[in-house]
Structure 1
Amino acid sequence: MDGGPLLALEQLLLVVLLCGMLVVFLVDRFRMEVVALTGLALGVLFGLVGPADAFAGFANPAFITVVEILLVVKVLSRSGLLERLSARIVALRLGPTGLLATLCALTAALSVVMNNIGALALMIPVAFGVCRASDLNPKFVLMPIAFASLLGGVCSIVGTPANLIVSQQLALATGTGFSFFSYAVAGLPAALAGIAVLCLLAPRILPVTGGGAATPAPPSLPSRSVVAEGVVPAGSPLVGASPAGLPFELHAVTRAGKRQFLPRVAVLEAGDRLLIGIDHSRLARLRADGALDLGAGPPDGISLQAVVMPESTVVGSRIATIEALAARGIVTRAASLQSPRIEGGFADLQLSIGDVLYLEGEPDLLREALEETEMLALEAAESVRTDPPDWRPLCVFLGGVALAAFAPVAPQIAFGLVVLALALAGWLNLRDGLANLPWPVLIMLAAMIPLGEAVETTGTARLLADLLLSALPSTDLPLIASVLLLAVLVTPFVNNASTAIVLGPIAIGIAQAAGLPPEPFLLALALGVSIDFLTPFGHHSNMIVMGLGAYRFADFLRLGLPVTLASGMTGLAALVGLWL
């Protein structure tokens, strides 16, 4: 480097800053938007990002398009279209593998034209409906459709925010970004290979049948380990029982209004309030047998399970503080939590993405509360949705997809017109829609974009690319494969948008230093950050189904590793064969 130091001061500061942020993202002790904004502030303070560019991320086309797609998905989720599909899918009379293939293909197809979390959210009620009617274990389909939502997202520019970011980086480097379906060059073969492996291996790795009953019967939603609180009534068989011999895990005992020190509780007494961990089906039996009083529910209430989604307003809230539920008389009976830590009472439990709440309330009030909190009902129940499906919003959306794909119209303009049309037609309330967007994720994205651009403007990308080139053969296949592998290894620990922002300029630098076109390198990066199947925490889709299906960490590795290898190698072969 002309005899100078390997890293200039600003390059060293930027590398240290980005590495530090990735570590903090991995630790997951602080809110992602706070970490991103702190990193952006430090970038401005150190002169890595100009003050005029600090908030340029909010005007970035990638950010604008993500906001537009999220608004559209909210309208489509209320249209009721996909909730009617379960009966039609079951009517096909396919076997378990055929049903799984149908659900995965439909999820992937939806994810091509909308963000992958939105596609998964639309398909979860459909999947549960199919499982109920076909005696399938929800565990058999939930992880595969989550993976399918990621596989479909690699086929178009709007399938995931990472694709929008990568296209923007290409436009900055060459003047022209990717077209709507450019990603399908590698994405479509990768998606087909991944879904084929899912259909082949899922019946061998995951339980297929529902309840295993002698006579087929529609299974209920899967029974999970939950935390619940109840009172021991007089005459309960629990009275006089020793804590050591209970058929559940005892977390706390409150007696006469005072919390007891558990080692000093010799036996349970009538009137004790217990905080317990228990399988939900066993909790239901205890309640039915009068062994544990969970309290009376609303007079005309129904029971409903709802999952906390990434955009939900209750993420980080404690159960006692969810005003949308309390104001409507909705009772939270139990909670299935991702976090094993139990502190305080049931009302003090803090919610995170993928947690499942067991609610009781009047149907209309439940529906209102779920819409306000952006939680997702797991049952496609007529008691929760009775209005007929409306095809018009979908037609408007598909018109926007066609405009972005086949006309010289930028995605942010095409989908901006869709949002405007939905608002003018009265199907979208912009004030409510914008208020209920997942702003922590969006703020994180907007704050990371200027830092990603700084990787290019400070020369850090070219310098890191030269370092990688010196350690790798200077031929196309190893270089593209190294970008793909690096993305696959980093993304399970850092969200895919941040990975694309940081690695994009480096991928372009490698291509330029090797004298190769940047497109296959960026497509490899986009593929690598999306085939995130190895861990339950690598992507929000995985986090959501982790709790719904009561999966173990090893389940993701056992099914995710073969899918990663199949999709990654197939996509890599397509890139090398078609681009080079």
Structure 2
Amino acid sequence: MAILSILIVVAIFVLLQLRRNLATDQLFLAGLLVLTIANVITPAEAFEGLSNPAVLTIAGLLVVTAGLRSAGVLDWLGNKLLGSARTQTQALIRLTLVITVASAFLLNTAVVAMMMPVAIDWCRRRNISPSRLLIPISYLAMLGGVCTLIGTSTTLVVNGELTRIHQQQLDAAAIAPRATSPETNDSIAQVEPMSLFELGQIGSICAIIGVVYIIFIAPRLLPDRHEPGESLGKQRREYMVEMKVEQTCPYVGQTVQQAGLRNLPGLFLVEINRAGHVITPVAPSDVIEQHDRLVFSGVVSTIVDLEKVTGLVPSADVSFEHHPERRLSEVVLSRTCPLIGTTVKAASFRQRYNAAVVAVHRSGERLAGKIGDIELAHGDTLLLQTRSDFVSTYRNSRDFYLVSDVEGATPRRHEKIKIASLLLLTLITWLITASIYTSPSSSYSWTSPAVAAIVIAVLMVLTGCLRNTDARAAIDLQLLLTIAAALGIGRALIKSGAAEMVANGLTSAVGTSPLLLLITVYILASVMTEMISNNAVAAMLLPLAIAIPHSIGFDARPFIMAITLAASLAFVTPVGYQTNLMVMGPGGYHPRDYLRCGLPLSLLMAVTAITSIAVTYSVGP
């Protein structure tokens, strides 16, 4: 059975390298089913991972971070920090502050998802390629994630298994002095769950050194590529749009140059309307004031970006902007539309369609003047502020040839920023308090990260920070199934004796030097993580991290830390970590870009982590 367990792991590894189109969760589930049918583990043991605290914690945190994204918490913070940044280095330093701190308490995939649009928008405004910032964002999120227990799903997976094994050992000790279970007998070392900041003792050192590398060395290795669709900008529809500057807008008091509104790709500031006085052409030194109306000419994607700036709202109908269900939609006026020949102001879109006209495009023409004074014609394309049901309501209307939502125009619910921020602070406080009053006798007590994450996730929905449908969509089933199946395979490695067999094989090959074995385990985990799921690697190699030191009579803790860090810091390939894949498309990266920038960082982290672990836990030769 031990040989079968090892063969299953090897088969999964090989297939993932040869067939990149295979679904990771399906492959791991297939391997788990083979082990179950072969009676290596029972069905209850195989699917116990679905109720593992780590899986539940990750599910809860995915919902929490979706709520923070919907409320625009990190968008707001990122815009505040990047608003006045003028150079790439300044932007990188400011992003470092936000991302490393945020990813220490939120799943790093969610942090990257929230910060990518902020960085891309800043790059567009400064005419800088996003490829100069997106890989650093991914790397910073990984580095911040290893500073606490909840910063990365990998750490949660490891701690979930430690909690389960520790609980079984406590139960066995209470029943009999010596238990016969393969997971509680002398072949498995005594282990305890991690505290909130235990990994951070090593991880924070890695993070500090990694940040120095990213700020001072990585820019020399990063490519300078523009977004894939940027060259198509001139072929896309241009709109004229008028935006009102409210008190909360970060541009108030800044010059046009400082606000980054000069030389915008796909967007041009035509004029500033200030209390009836029109400023045109707009000079870089002109200062933006509250209540100004800024008239832009641009493509729809750049107008969507403008909509995401706090306090910058379409002036067509300011009151409409603040509704949480608002959307941007495009319509093409048909010949039978009763609005043909009337001005936008006289058309009364609010009364007729519960919508507001944001901008108008007419083929071959750049329409100047106030939006309200434009006379509508057959074939005009209108950009509208609408409610969520607009498209379904008017899809078959004779008034329009075409009705569609604008991609990426789902608004941030800025009115919920304070509530979402308070819930985040509550979660952090809860976890810190729980780490002080840890209750090891129950992994589902109030001290459990799973309980904290799920409670805050529910409150995100109940307080309106996140809709029910968005909460369900935020839960990544493929990720959760992969982790659950990998946990089952990891359990099979222990129960079948495969972990002990591999441990004995490594000690025979490498020797009994704790330091050499620590280096071997770290390198093995690091290489595997660059090729398959980091969570799966952590789940499958954790049994080895416990069995190897136990076979030589050494403490398992440094080996557990090595596995956790190696599986959490994957910089060399785009498939090594989810955040690397997330930035690949928007940054226009190739695999060689990760190799060139990530390999030196990976080697630096290996030396830093192994040295720090060896010093902290007194691992000698």
TM-score normalised to structure 2 length: 0.65
Provide closer, same or farther for how the CA distance between residues 91 and 445 of structure 1 changes in structure 2, counting only shifts above 3 A: closer
Report the equivalent of 2:219. 203
- Alignment check: 8 A CA contact 1:190 1:570 kept: yes
- Provide the C-alpha distance between the structure 2 equivalents of 1:52 and 1:467, rounded to a whole number of angstroms: 30
- Provide the C-alpha distance between the structure 2 equivalents of 1:486 and 1:476, rounded to a whole number of angstroms: 15
- Provide the C-alpha distance between the structure 2 equivalents of 1:103 and 1:77, rounded to a whole number of angstroms: 16
- Provide the C-alpha distance between the structure 2 equivalents of 1:443 and 1:568, rounded to a whole number of angstroms: 29
Report the equivalent of 1:302. 300
Q: In the alignment, residue 209 of structure 2 is paired with which amino acid?
A: A
- Alignment check: 8 A CA contact 1:404 1:414 kept: yes
* CA positional deviation for 1:189: 0.6
- Provide the C-alpha distance between the structure 2 equivalents of 1:498 and 1:456, rounded to a whole number of angstroms: 15
1:252-291 matched pairs, under 5 angstroms: 280-281=230-231, 283-285=232-234
Q: In the alignment, residue 416 of structure 1 is paired with which amino acid?
A: I
Provide closer, same or farther for how the CA distance between residues 178 and 72 of structure 1 changes in structure 2, counting only shifts above 3 A: same
* CA positional deviation for 1:201: 1.4
Report the equivalent of 2:544. 506
Summarize deviations over 1:15-66 as a string: whole Å, max 9, x none: 1111111222332232222212211211111111202223211111111111
- Provide the C-alpha distance between the structure 2 equivalents of 1:392 and 1:384, rounded to a whole number of angstroms: 17
Report the equivalent of 2:51. 59
Report the equivalent of 2:199. 183
Report the equivalent of 2:339. none
Q: In the alignment, residue 204 of structure 1 is paired with which amino acid?
A: R
* CA positional deviation for 1:480: 1.3
Describe the SS at the equivalent of 1:443.
helix
Q: In the alignment, residue 401 of structure 1 is paired with which amino acid?
A: I
Report the equivalent of 1:315. none
- Alignment check: 8 A CA contact 1:491 1:529 kept: yes
Summarize deviations over 1:101-159 as a string: whole Å, max 9, x none: 22133212111111111010111122123323444321111110111111111122222
- Provide the C-alpha distance between the structure 1 equivalents of 2:563 and 2:331, rounded to a whole number of angstroms: 45
- Provide the C-alpha distance between the structure 2 equivalents of 1:540 and 1:367, rounded to a whole number of angstroms: 33
- Provide the C-alpha distance between the structure 2 equivalents of 1:364 and 1:540, rounded to a whole number of angstroms: 34
Provide closer, same or farther for how the CA distance between residues 87 and 71 of structure 1 changes in structure 2, counting only shifts above 3 A: closer
Report the equivalent of 1:405. 432
Deviates more, 1:23-32 or 1:458-467: 23-32
Report the equivalent of 2:113. 121
Identity of counterpart residues, as a percentage? 27
- Provide the C-alpha distance between the structure 2 equivalents of 1:305 and 1:555, rounded to a whole number of angstroms: 31
Report the equivalent of 1:467. 505
Summarize deviations over 1:196-218 as a string: whole Å, max 9, x none: 1111112212257x9xxxxxxxx
- Provide the C-alpha distance between the structure 1 equivalents of 2:73 and 2:417, rounded to a whole number of angstroms: 7
* CA positional deviation for 1:397: 2.3
* CA positional deviation for 1:516: 1.6
Tell whether 2:155 aligns with 1:163: yes
Report the equivalent of 1:272. none
Tell whether 2:227 aligns with 1:223: yes
Choose from 506, 509, 525 the match for 1:487. Answer: 525
Q: In the alignment, residue 543 of structure 2 is paired with which amino acid?
A: P
Tell whether 2:614 aligns with 1:576: yes
- Provide the C-alpha distance between the structure 2 equivalents of 1:368 and 1:78, rounded to a whole number of angstroms: 20
Report the equivalent of 2:351. none
Report the equivalent of 2:590. 552
Tell whether 2:6 aligns with 1:49: no
* CA positional deviation for 1:94: 5.9
- Provide the C-alpha distance between the structure 2 equivalents of 1:556 and 1:384, rounded to a whole number of angstroms: 32
- Structure showing greater radius of gyration is 2
Q: In the alignment, residue 136 of structure 1 is paired with which amino acid?
A: I
- Alignment check: 8 A CA contact 1:329 1:361 kept: yes
- Provide the C-alpha distance between the structure 2 equivalents of 1:305 and 1:447, rounded to a whole number of angstroms: 44
Provide closer, same or farther for how the CA distance between residues 361 and 154 of structure 1 changes in structure 2, counting only shifts above 3 A: farther
- Alignment check: 8 A CA contact 2:78 2:115 kept: no
* CA positional deviation for 1:81: 2.0
Choose from 10, 16, 20 the match for 2:7. Answer: 16
Describe the SS at the equivalent of 2:217.
helix
Choose from 413, 416, 420 the match for 1:393. Answer: 420
- Provide the C-alpha distance between the structure 2 equivalents of 1:368 and 1:419, rounded to a whole number of angstroms: 29
- Alignment check: 8 A CA contact 1:422 1:428 kept: yes
Report the equivalent of 1:295. none
1:89-488 matched pairs, under 5 angstroms: 89-93=81-85, 95-171=87-163, 172=165, 174=190, 176-206=192-222, 222-224=226-228, 280-281=230-231, 283-285=232-234, 302-303=300-301, 362=384, 364=386, 384-385=411-412, 387-388=414-415, 390-407=417-434, 408=438, 409-430=447-468, 432-488=470-526
- Provide the C-alpha distance between the structure 1 equivalents of 2:329 and 2:549, rounded to a whole number of angstroms: 58
Runs of 4+ in 1 over 6 A off after TM superposition: 327-331, 365-369
Provide closer, same or farther for how the CA distance between residues 287 and 497 of structure 1 changes in structure 2, counting only shifts above 3 A: closer
Describe the SS at the equivalent of 1:159.
coil
Provide closer, same or farther for how the CA distance between residues 43 and 58 of structure 1 changes in structure 2, counting only shifts above 3 A: same
Q: In the alignment, residue 21 of structure 2 is paired with which amino acid?
A: R
Describe the SS at the equivalent of 1:525.
helix
- Provide the C-alpha distance between the structure 2 equivalents of 1:476 and 1:88, rounded to a whole number of angstroms: 48
- Provide the C-alpha distance between the structure 2 equivalents of 1:19 and 1:109, rounded to a whole number of angstroms: 37
Tell whether 2:20 aligns with 1:28: yes
Aligned CA-pair RMSD: 3.1
Provide closer, same or farther for how the CA distance between residues 53 and 390 of structure 1 changes in structure 2, counting only shifts above 3 A: same
- Provide the C-alpha distance between the structure 2 equivalents of 1:202 and 1:410, rounded to a whole number of angstroms: 38
- Provide the C-alpha distance between the structure 2 equivalents of 1:92 and 1:183, rounded to a whole number of angstroms: 35
- Provide the C-alpha distance between the structure 1 equivalents of 2:565 and 2:329, rounded to a whole number of angstroms: 44
* CA positional deviation for 1:452: 0.9
Summarize deviations over 1:191-246 as a string: whole Å, max 9, x none: 111111111112212257x9xxxxxxxxxxx431x6xxxxxxxxxxxxxxxxxxxx
Tell whether 2:579 aligns with 1:541: yes
- Alignment check: 8 A CA contact 2:59 2:476 kept: no
Summarize deviations over 1:414-459 as a string: whole Å, max 9, x none: 2222123334434344565235421112112122211111111221
Q: In the alignment, residue 393 of structure 1 is paired with which amino acid?
A: A
Provide closer, same or farther for how the CA distance between residues 132 and 301 of structure 1 changes in structure 2, counting only shifts above 3 A: closer
Q: In the alignment, residue 510 of structure 1 is paired with which amino acid?
A: I
Q: In the alignment, residue 396 of structure 1 is paired with which amino acid?
A: L
Describe the SS at the equivalent of 1:536.
coil
Provide closer, same or farther for how the CA distance between residues 94 and 473 of structure 1 changes in structure 2, counting only shifts above 3 A: farther
- Provide the C-alpha distance between the structure 2 equivalents of 1:90 and 1:287, rounded to a whole number of angstroms: 28
- Provide the C-alpha distance between the structure 2 equivalents of 1:118 and 1:478, rounded to a whole number of angstroms: 36
- Alignment check: 8 A CA contact 2:571 2:598 kept: yes
Report the equivalent of 1:515. 553
- Alignment check: 8 A CA contact 1:85 1:126 kept: no
Describe the SS at the equivalent of 2:301.
strand
Aligned length: 438
- Provide the C-alpha distance between the structure 1 equivalents of 2:215 and 2:475, rounded to a whole number of angstroms: 34
